[in-house]
Structure 1
Amino acid sequence: MVENASIKIGVDPARGAGIFWLSRGGSPANLLNEFDCGRFIQQSYYGRQDGSDWNGKPWSWNPVQCGSWQNQPARVLECSKKGNCIATQVNPRNWAGQQLCDDVWMRADISLAGKHADLKFTVRYSGCSDNPVRIQELPAVFLSRKLGQLVFYDGPEPWQGKALTTKEPGQVNENYRITENWAAYIDPTTGEGVGIYTPVAQTITCYRVGKDGSAACSDCSYVAPTMRFALQPGFEMSYHCFIMIGTVEEIRKEFSDIRGWALNNRPEMLASAALAGATPAI
């Protein structure tokens, strides 16, 4: 775990060193869902049809950072902590096919910066198989279902303080544009929630599992910033994602401040050279 007064974040070395814990500093209430190896905050990519099967459903090649749908864990190569930073490296597992993906390497560099966490994700594919262009999660984010309202901006005037859009996703994937590159799931009873800002992503996919009032551990609210691209032989990519806990107003301001600072000081944090030819998911 790493923690300050605003945010606490932790990884699980037994499940691919995925991010299993997110809360305010000092809080005992985890805002993430960790029901199985497909949940958490983690890297997940899609490729070719490989004949794999997910509980009776045909599936594609899908290296997942934490492990497989039968909860076989990924191979952790590094999980270290220094100060308020965590570094992890893994060989993921194919979600439906179960096998370790020795030809995929994933890295996460997690650090706290005031009110937010900076997550730098890297993936490298050293295999020989061609993979088609697919919708990719940047990253997959699974939250507590009590965070029931999804908020984002999808208009033509980003970062101008214009009115936001609010949705309550159902149990089937819904896709939206995010012209400010962020979305937040908010608990309507408290007005607070979790925001996810991935500067390279212009779209999201989302759904929610379970019924209102349910306490089942399998219930969750899901969102992933998305782009379309292919993991071809030799592909390597890094990108930043920023996580913040707060009200919608606080989240939007923090992400706007991050963007402004990065434009003037670290513009590479808002882009990824490997995704220069990638397209929005919708």
Structure 2
Amino acid sequence: MRLHLLLAFSLLLPAGAEILKAEELHSIDNGTIKIGIDRDKGGSITWLSSKTYPNNMVNIADPGRLIQQSYYAGNILDRRADGQSKSWSPWSWNPIQGGGVGSWAIASKIEQDGQSLYSETTPKLWDMPNEEAKALMKQWTTFEASVPNSIVVRCEFQSLRDQYDRWGSAKNRAQEVPACYFTRNFSTVKSYLGNNEWRLETQPPGPPWGKANPPRKSMALFDEDGQGVAIFSPTSNLHWNFGPHGQGQSTDPTAGPCMHVAPISRIVLGPKTTLNYRYWLVVGDADSIATSLDALWEKYSKEQAEIVN
């Protein structure tokens, strides 16, 4: 199966399209870490920074990047007669929180309650210029108690497809849990092994991406000054995709060059499936991230995704 984000960097937005400004950014900040979601980008995570790295770490160059939900289901179809992008044909049913090839999704609900954020979004289908998916994405974002440099994100995906639509029955497909894109300067990638030990992972610029198998289900990306961001995804059950795109050490969140990492799980999504899972984002230097990842592993290493068909 092809993943749309393996090729997303060849995407050119249609004439007249533009990258929306973060005018609808809603953020929380505990003094150590700041995170924000954007109504105009489907409620996806579009801002992540720390006390020691106050700039935005998230690449927001197009709807296929960000830190967001992305899923694959059903038959792979040629829908060019209906306006499907030639670059993404044939394609499976692929709802994207951030939007489709030429349009952003807009969150229908954003709520902020103290130090937590909640969003609801009708996603777009990736392969079409502006087609809403029959689906609903919910997301809860808050700080992890007792681990001040970490964020916990709960994702809920509801497939609302017609039972006998053209995409057909459930298929066992690889899912990104979640898809993450960061600025290009976070170019050193390491898998966490536990007990403050790391393994360097290398990959030439892609796509295609490299594949890694982090034993503690966590990988981190670091800049030249040793500041970094880690993803811990205990429900992942396959390899992780990772790697750079483009050259240089750009800190610009809207630049083409970027860094990618995605934990992968095999999940069967049917027309009426509901999926729930959680992942964590941790910021800091290698020592502080390692300490936090050890604590998270001890508490959540056996956590499983919840799937209702």
Q: TM-score, normalised by structure 2?
A: 0.79
Q: Equivalent residue for 1:133?
A: 172
Partner of 1:279: none
Can you list the C-alpha shifts for 1:187-210, whole angstroms capped at 9, x where unaligned? 1x1112110001111421123211
Cα distance in structure 2, aligned partners of 1:175 and 1:126: 32
Gaps of 5+ in 1: 276-282
Aligned to 2:19: none
Residue 229 (structure 2) aligned to one of 194, 200, 220 = 194
Partner of 1:278: none
User: Per the alignment, in what secondary structure is the counterpart of residue 164 of structure 1?
Assistant: strand
Aligned-partner residue type, residue 106 of structure 1: M
With over 3 angstroms needed to count, the CA separation of the structure-2 counterparts of 1:213 and 1:160, relative to structure 1, is: closer
* Structure 2 gap ranges (5+): 1-26
Identity of paired residues, percent?
Answer: 24
1:150 Cα deviation after fit: 1.1
What is the root-mean-square deviation of aligned Cα atoms in Å?
Answer: 2.1
Q: How does 1:54-203 map to 2 (within 5 A)?
A: 54=85, 56-58=87-89, 59-70=91-102, 72-97=103-128, 98-101=130-133, 103-113=134-144, 114-127=148-161, 128=163, 129-153=168-192, 159=194, 162-171=197-206, 172-187=208-223, 189-202=224-237, 203=239
Q: Is residue 274 of structure 1 aligned with residue 299 of structure 2?
A: no
State the SS of the aligned residue for 1:56. Answer: helix
Match of 2:244 among 198, 208, 214: 208
CA contact (8 A) 1:149 1:168 kept: no
C-alpha deviations, 1:91-117, integer Å up to 9, x for none?
A: 10001123101x211111000132111
**Cα distance change on mapping 1:173 and 1:7 into 2, 3 Å:** same
* SS of equivalent residue, structure 1 residue 249: helix
TM-score (norm 1): 0.86
Aligned residue number for residue 280 of structure 1: none
Q: How many aligned positions are there?
A: 263
Q: 1:50: how far off?
A: 2.8
Q: Partners of 1:35 and 1:138 in 2: how far apart?
A: 20
| 1:196–1:241 CA contact under 8 A, matched in 2 | yes
Tell me if structure 2 keeps the 8 A contact 1:16–1:75: yes
Is contact 1:150–1:168 with CA below 8 Å preserved after alignment? no
